């Protein structure tokens, strides 16, 4: 399955990036405000663990979300900037506290390697067409695309360069931008698109001019 291979590439990219890091390097800051590399690794491990549960939870109902609408459904507009910032800070703080349970940062890398490999194996052998996760029903290819998208974006958060297989995240952003009746600005390269689409980098005046009304939809996902 093409989506399973995309997930494998995304997870392998994260593994290759973090495996050589020293304990102190795992405590370096990332693009996720308030999160160290170890915090991001913990977050991704929890995502891979959720993948294992989802892939073992077949659904009899028709899918209720696609790999695009999954994100729009999970990213309701905040009533104001202050509440959005408070929610983001609370989420970042919860992630830091959860990651700090590990005795030392290197253990998080080992746990990631084991869990992500198991998730990839499960993705390549899942026998059913749809699964349940987080209250939604997704076709298996759509679930795998959401997982790969998350891994690609968090790979970028590690400040270690463009991931080796960014396509799932690009396709997701294309879909979300299309829902906002927008088109990717011609002056953006893929890294610009991923960082700005995920809210890691702010839009410039030139970006807003190129996007027009669709600029109001940014960040497309967080």
Q: Kindly state the average pLDDT of the residues 87-100.
A: 63
Tens of pLDDT, residue by residue over 123-145, are 999 999 999 999 999 999 999 99
Q: Kindly state the average pLDDT of the residues 78-90.
A: 54
Report the pLDDT value the prediction gives residue 81, as an integer from 0 to 100: 42
Q: Is the pLDDT of residue 84 over 80?
A: no
Question: Taking the model in full, what pTM does it have?
Answer: 0.87
Tens of pLDDT, residue by residue over 23-75, are 999 999 999 888 899 999 999 999 999 999 999 999 999 999 999 999 986 55
Give yes or no for a contact between 44 and 116, defined as CB atoms under 8 angstroms apart. yes
Range of the domain at 110: 2-217
Residue 78, domain CATH: 1.20.120.450
Task: Provide the number of structural domains found in the chain.
Answer: 1
Give yes or no for a contact between 1 and 10, defined as CB atoms under 8 angstroms apart. no
Q: Does 80 map to a domain? A: yes
Exposed, middle or buried: residue 206 (CB in 10 Å: 0-12, 13-18, 19+)? Answer: exposed
Give 144-203 as a 3 state SS string: HHHHHHHHHHHHHHCCCCCCCCCHHHHHHHHHHHHHCCCCCCCCCCHHHHHHHHCCCCCC
Q: How many CA atoms lie within 13 A of 65 on its CB side?
A: 23
Structure tokens at 2: 């093409």
Q: Does 222 map to a domain? A: no
Residue 36 DSSP SS3: strand
Tens of pLDDT, residue by residue over 171-218, are 999 999 999 999 999 999 999 999 999 998 999 999 999 999 999 999
């Amino acid at each position: 399955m093409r989506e399973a291979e995309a997930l494998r590439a995304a997870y392998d990219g994260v593994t290759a990036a973090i495996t050589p890091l020293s304990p102190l390097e795992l405590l370096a800051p990332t693009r996720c405000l308030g999160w160290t590399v170890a915090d991001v690794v913990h977050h991704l491990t929890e995502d891979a663990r959720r993948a294992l549960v989802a892939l073992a939870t077949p659904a009899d109902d028709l899918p209720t979300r696609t790999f695009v609408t999954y994100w729009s459904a999970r990213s309701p507009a905040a009533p104001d900037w202050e509440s959005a910032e408070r929610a983001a800070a609370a989420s970042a703080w919860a992630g830091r506290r959860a990651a700090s349970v590990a005795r030392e940062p290197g253990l998080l890398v080992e746990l990631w390697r084991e869990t992500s490999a198991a998730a990839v194996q499960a993705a390549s052998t899942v026998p059913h067409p749809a699964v349940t996760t987080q209250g939604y029903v997704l076709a298996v290819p759509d679930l795998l695309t959401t997982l790969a998208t998350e891994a690609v974006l968090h790979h970028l958060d590690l400040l270690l360069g463009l991931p080796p297989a960014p396509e799932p995240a690009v396709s997701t952003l294309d879909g979300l931008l299309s829902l906002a009746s927008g088109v990717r600005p011609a002056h953006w390269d893929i890294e610009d698109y991923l960082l700005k689409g995920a809210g890691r980098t702010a839009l410039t005046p030139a970006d807003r001019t190129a996007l027009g009304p669709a600029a109001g939809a940014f960040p497309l996902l967080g």
